[in-house]
Structure 1
Amino acid sequence: MISTPPNILFITADNQPATLLGCHGNTDVETPHIDRMAAEGTRFTRAFSTNGMCSPGRASLFTGLMPSQHGVHSWLNDDSMADWPAGWCAVREFRTLPATLAHRGYQTALIGKYHMGRPDAPMPGFERWLAFALGHTHDFYDNRVIDESGEYAVTGRHIVDFFTDKAVDYLTEVDASRPFFLNVNYDAPYLLPPTNYGPDPRNRFYERYAGRDFPSFPREAIHPNLLERITDPELPEKGRAMSRALVLMHNDPATMANVCAQVSLVDESVGRLLALLDERGLSDNTLVVFTADQANLYGQHGLWGHTINTHPSHLYDAGLHIPLIVRRPGHVPAGRTSDLLVGQCDLAPTLMEYLSFEDAEFAGSPGRSLAPVLAGGPVDDVPDAVFFEQEETRGIRTDRYSYWKRLPGFGPPVLFDLEEDPGQRMDVAASPAYADVVAGLDRRLTEFFARHADPRYDLWNGGRAKGSVLRPQHYRDLYGPEWGPIASVEPTFSE
């Protein structure tokens, strides 16, 4: 769609709900820089992650594939990292955004969280590499990172500030005569313990929020399913401890202030990067994307945390609704909102069409290009549904309905009529009045995964997950004692 490819600044926040941004209507949290980006660009109001965990969402953003295609079904557990081959990348065999752009002359760099394999070697396609040494964030202020020189400690400062400083260095030094793809991945706002439980006076924004009422945070009774996980014998002690911490975070004003402070810190960092683009005269030729790997519940339905923090997993909008804002002054319509249903798999084909790289096919991707929206026009093939999968739970969401289906033995299906029940409070799947709706949505869901699942990684049909899953014993019960997560080294994708 363009003759000269622009630079791309691709910013991914960690566990960032769309509803915790000012441009999405939140009045508790201050996000002036992200709001400015939305005012100067196009904001997709209904963007959703493919999965409610970090690693699968990141893999879908880069490959345009669903978890049952790329094989990453859950978080890649740091406790299993020693079992993975050195330099293992979970999506090595697929076309990815960085590899595709590097092959077409882009300078490429990743700064921040990786969580798609072992960070001890750059993901194929990245020339510059500065990665968080873990997947999970246990501390905002004392961490380890890995770059071309090796692994070293970052102590006494917030990891978001550190990654922003490094991104500023890159943007200051990068050769502006060649296009670049800079992927900045922040380890915040996160919304999970221990980092977000209780106060964080070391965050310079915390005092701004301390003592507020936070009306946008739901106050509800704790969901019994979350309480049951505290003593669930099938979970390891770390899982039970996580559940105890999530219960303590629930309805806690200090935790709410902490969350808002982390969102504001990310927002300030986005502002620093946008300002530097302006200073270097790069704004008009840089497509900036702001999104997240997944969302996070912060009190909705009596829950806090991920879609996998109940058993069986759930697919509430609150855990999957992510921001997606695209800005390029003079090229992408300013102040425009799009209400199209958008999934993470749409991003890769969208960027390829926008950059006029239509020869770069993300084979098997269910994603549809939204590039016409970025050019100010309509989309001919209007997405009328998005699809999700969280291990044993799969779902389809349309304008009117949200339907979830579980593997046999994991629980009954769920249906919400969003026209009558936008808050997803009343499950009507068993109502005779909705029998035809359930049948139709079930058929669409089944047909979608029949087309978009690789038998090697299809957990619903004996396939195996890469890296880790939450409850491996469930799949051993279904498929036999030999079933287990894999971390095989696949051939690197080449064009």
Structure 2
Amino acid sequence: MTQETRRPPHIVFVMSDDQGPWALGAAGNAEIQTPVIDALADQGIRLSRFFCASPVCSPARASLLTGRVPSQHGVHDYLDGAHAGPDSADYLGGIPTFTDALADAGYRLGLSGKWHLGSSDVPRRGFVHWFALHGGGSSYDRALMYRDGVAEQVEGYLTDIIADDAISFIEAEAGGSAPFFLAVNFTAPHKPFAGQHPERFTDLYRDCAFESCPQESPHPWLQTLDGGPIGGEPDAREALIGYFAAVTAMDAAIGRILDALRAQGDDRETIVVFTSDNGFNAGHHGIWGKGNGTFPLNMYDESVMVPFVLRAPGLVPEGVVDDALVSAYDIAPTLLDLVGIDPTRFESGPGRSRAPLLRGETGRDTDAEIVVHNEYGPVRMIRTADRKYVHRFPYGPHEFYDLAADPGERENLVDDPARADEVADMRRRLADWFATHRGDARYDGALLPVTGAGQIAPLAEDPQSAFGMPMWDGALAQNSEGRT
């Protein structure tokens, strides 16, 4: 195949579920075993400060696919309600995604695993292979899946079932003239934790000290349910064993997928991405869970940062760790740019191609004013390299952290008179950014009763109805009773 007619690279996009930025050997965690992902990092680039768009699954995934903020696409919380059938809705219907752009460019698309953006039984446009989980989570020994629209009850270890399906897609596409995009969306390491994973993985952690997950005193905002933290389980040690085992089992499954690429001779012609939908606290800050592990909803770095590794032989250098602030908003234009598709369609919002950064090109953007923004309904964050401001509509509390002096976000300086000018500047910049990017005012999360209890319908003429609860006062009372 000549250079002029060379096929664009395949893309295998692997996403874990609820994986904190600390839960990776390559990130410096000496306790967790992730040799496959660590090797990917050695063979490509790891972004050490990569941020999801929202610290909960559905809005984070929607923003990654569309490059839009939740106040543009209208997904503000994890999706509850109908996931399939006539009562379900495609929450991204009519909104362009980067997979649409790949399909338009001739890519053959496949999905293995979690979707959780509505209508799990209906393949999205361009997907020639669709093996989607019914909802947002499942036990690991059985699950309801939809294979090309047909319900299929599967039994066995779900992580391996997802990997097996991904491998079948790779093998079916082998030798084809068209490039493929494969989304491998694991449910690991999402709860349930204890008693869910093969002994060969849980045994690895029976004697682990778990110094990477200090079990701090419960956070004042921690939500609890049935005797345990809402994002965890009553027995914290067993939960940690399960969480770590889930990550290591997933790592092994990714290894089998990479082996399949090598067996087909496609590993050097494939961009492999590994990331997670949102972060996770496993005792950090006295929290088990992500953004909705507390109420008020939190924006700690453990909740909003996620692992990110990209290997692309010949396209990006090897063995690079970069601490630039990069957001999931940037993924759509960046991936398109890397495979030679015009990314500008996905740069009208907050995202922009970071392909020059990944390629290590000279003169890359190192502007110290690069910031990332996060949104979880009425909770909004602006973060620079060394400062973070969190604003909560309509009542607060607000937070301001000097990350240079306090990287663990322990001392809230929002009411420090000496920091008043800094707080005011960050607040102004945050307001200006959301005023620019919010889109349809009805979708603006600032006045929505998003409490981490789930979203049951698309936003409509009365967006509050999507959350099945009244406005603020009632929502606060309802959430204080420990709803998920």
- Aligned residue among 380, 399, 405 for 1:394: 380
Paired residue for 2:268?
284
Cα pair distance change 1:247/1:463, threshold 3 Å: closer
Letter in 1 for 2:104: H
SS at match of 1:350: helix
Residue aligning to 2:57: 54
**In the alignment, structure 1 residue 204 sits paired with structure 2 residue 207:** no
Distance apart, 1:128 and its partner CA: 1.2
> Distance in 2 between the 1:474 and 1:7 partners?
46
- 3-state SS of 1:189 partner: coil
User: How far apart in 1 are the matches of 2:230 and 2:473?
Assistant: 29
In structure 2, distance between residues paired with 1:201 and 1:354: 36
Corresponding residue number in structure 1 for 2:462 = none
3-state SS, counterpart of residue 11 of structure 1: strand
Distance of aligned partners of 1:416 and 1:244 in 2 relative to their CA distance in 1, 3 Å threshold: closer
Query: Cα gap change, 1:242/1:272 in structure 2, threshold over 3 Å: closer, same or farther?
Result: farther
Letter in 2 for 1:216: S
Q: Which residue of 2 aligns with 1:293?
A: 277
The reply to whether residue 414 of structure 1 matches residue 399 of structure 2 is yes
User: In 2, distance between residues paired with 1:153 and 1:203?
Assistant: 24
In the aligned structure 2, how far is the partner of 1:111 from the partner of 1:357?
A: 24
Query: What are the superposed Cα offsets for residues 79-138 of structure 1, whole Å, 9 maximum, x if unpaired?
Result: 3447x855621112111122111111001111100001121111223221010112223x
Structure-2 change in CA distance of 1:276 and 1:123 (3 Å): same
Q: Is the 8 A contact 1:352 1:360 kept in 2?
A: no
- For residues 20 and 463 of structure 1, do their structure 2 counterparts lie closer, same or farther at Cα, with a shift above 3 Å needed? closer
Matched to 1:121, the amino acid is V
Confirm whether residue 352 of structure 1 aligns to residue 339 of structure 2.
no
SS of 1:357's equivalent in the other structure is: coil
Measure how far apart 1:380 and its partner are. 3.0
CA distance in 1: counterparts of 2:468 and 2:402, whole angstroms: 30
- Within a 5 Å distance, the mapping from 1:22-421 to structure 2 comes to 22-77=25-80, 79-81=81-83, 85=86, 88-137=89-138, 139-148=139-148, 150-155=150-155, 157-174=156-173, 175-190=175-190, 192=191, 195-196=192-193, 198-200=194-196, 202-226=198-222, 229-230=223-224, 240-241=225-226, 244=229, 246=231, 248-249=233-234, 252-358=236-342, 361-362=345-346, 364-378=348-362, 379-380=364-365, 382=367, 384-409=370-395, 411-421=396-406
1:19 is aligned, of 15, 22, 43, to 22
Residue 72 (structure 1) shift: 0.5
TM-score by length of 1: 0.87
Q: Is 1:7 matched up with 2:10?
A: yes
Q: Distance in 1 between matches of 2:232 and 2:104?
A: 47
Aligned to 2:481: none
Aligned amino acid, residue 151 of structure 1: A
Q: TM-score, normalised by structure 2?
A: 0.89
Task: Give me the whole-angstrom Cα distance separating, in 2, the residues matched to 1:450 and 1:57.
Answer: 20
Same amino acid, percent of matched pairs? 35
SS of the residue corresponding to residue 325 of structure 2 reads strand
Distance across 2 between alignment mates of 1:51 and 1:333 = 29
CA distance in 2, matches of 1:392, 1:377: 38
Give, as a single letter, the amino acid of the residue that structure 1 aligns with 2:402.
Answer: D
Q: Which ranges in structure 1 are unaligned for 5 or more consecutive residues?
A: 231-239, 479-495
Distance 1:363 1:428 in 2: 34
- Indicate the residue corresponding to 1:473 in structure 2: 470
1:433 Cα deviation from its structure 2 partner: 0.8
Mark the runs of 5 or more structure 2 residues left unpaired by the alignment: 459-464, 476-484
1: CA distance between counterparts of 2:448 and 2:230? 34
Tell me how many residue pairs correspond in the alignment. Answer: 457
Contact 2:346 2:352 in 1 (8 A): no
What SS is found at the alignment partner of 1:337? strand
Please state how far the C-alpha of 1:199 moved relative to its aligned partner: 4.1
Taking structure 1 as reference, are residues 356 and 300 closer, same or farther at Cα in structure 2, changes over 3 Å only? same
* Secondary structure of 1:187's aligned partner: coil
In structure 2, distance between residues paired with 1:335 and 1:399 = 23
| Structure 2 counterpart SS, 1:19 | coil
Alpha-carbon distance in structure 2 between the residues aligned to 1:177 and 1:4: 7
Distance (whole Å) between structure 1 residues aligned to residue 53 and residue 277 of structure 2: 9
The 3 A distance-change label for structure 1 pair 317 and 151 is same
Q: Deviations over 1:202-235 (max 9, x none)?
A: 3530111113211111121112322xx44xxxxx
CA distance 1:111–1:360, change in 2 (3 Å): farther
Q: Map Cα deviations across residues 406-456 of structure 1 (whole Å, 9 max, x no partner).
A: 1122x2210011011110000000001100110110011000000110213
Partner AA of 1:294 in structure 2: N
For 2:244, the aligned partner's letter is C
CA contact (8 A) 1:120 1:146 kept: yes
Q: Give me the whole-angstrom Cα distance separating, in 2, the residues matched to 1:261 and 1:74.
A: 27
Q: CA RMSD in A?
A: 2.4
Of 351-360 and 392-401, more deviation after overlay is shown by 351-360
Q: Give the corresponding residue for 2:442.
A: 456
